[in-house]
Amino acid sequence: MKDSGTQEHNIEENTSILYENEEFQQYTEEALRPGGLELTRKAVEIAGFPVGSRLLDIGCGCGKTAEFLAVECGMEALGIDISEELIAKAKARNSALNVQVGSVYDLPYGNDSIDGVLTECVFTLFEDKPLALNQIRRVLVPEGKLIISDLYIRENAQAFARLPMVTCINGITSQDVVCQEVAGAGFKLKEWHDETPVYKGFLAGLIMNYGSMSAFWESLVGSCDKACTIQNNIKKVKIGYYLSVWEKE
């Protein structure tokens, strides 16, 4: 049986979920996205959180960022994720992590109680962005920071045929659209960095690991035809990666 993450995305029972794929988790060493913890470190530095800040990682997956924030950065780190499977993995690796199952749409934290929120390769997965941003804004302290790092369309923005699986690629939009959505929800943009080189490095690693991008997609969707369709869809737009820091207005 699929977990609650599947229901959240309203997808068919047998559709694969990229970040719940074991081989993908091994390849990324459980930081399930481009950039890894180096990009997290950069984000924390840009946001300028003092040691001891109360930081919430939404869509924390296997808990690598929450662990990094607590152990390496001296923060009070919390994590929440819709996937029971990934939260179980996080707790199995480090039982001291303060992570729990839950959704961005109903955050179990008080108003004005969190100094900073991180969403790393998660924003594209939020189907109801106004509700997600409203919840994030509610829990952040005044002038609290929101970090969003994710995939985006750098060129050839156009309607994007959804891939037959759960992956961030399905939710990609342009920088303009991301900025309208987040600014429209009451956040001020502090910094936007294009981080496409880390995405390209991530793809290069996938090719080394799987042999080719077609082999990577085929391992997930189980058919050569579906893998080709995915490759052709992706070629239509130029995908990049960004890191952005926002402040609650």
Ligand X SMILES: C[S@@+](CC[C@H](N)C(=O)[O-])C[C@H]1O[C@@H](n2cnc3c(N)ncnc32)[C@H](O)[C@@H]1O
Task: Give the footprint of ligand X on this chain (CB under 6 A).
Answer: 5, 8, 19, 31-33, 58-61, 64-65, 80-83, 86, 103-105, 120-122, 125, 168
Token pair in block for residue 232: 């052709």
Identify which of residues 55 and 168 has a Cβ nearer to ligand X in the complex: 168
CA torsion through residues 12, 17, 20, 22, sign: positive
Residue by residue, DSSP assigns 149-215 as EEEEEEE-----PPPSSB-GGGG--BHHHHHHHHHHTTEEEEEEEE-HHHHHHHHHHHHHHHSSHHH
Token pair in block for residue 208: 């080394």
Beta carbon of residue 225, minimum distance to ligand X (angstroms, whole number): 25
**At 208, which amino acid appears?**
M
> 170-192 burial string, b = 16+ CB within 10 Å, else e?
bbbbbbeebeebbeebebeeeee
| Three-state DSSP state, 127 | coil
Strand ranges of the sheet holding 114-120, from the earlier edge strand across to the other edge: 99-101, 76-81, 54-58, 114-120, 140-155, 238-248, 187-194
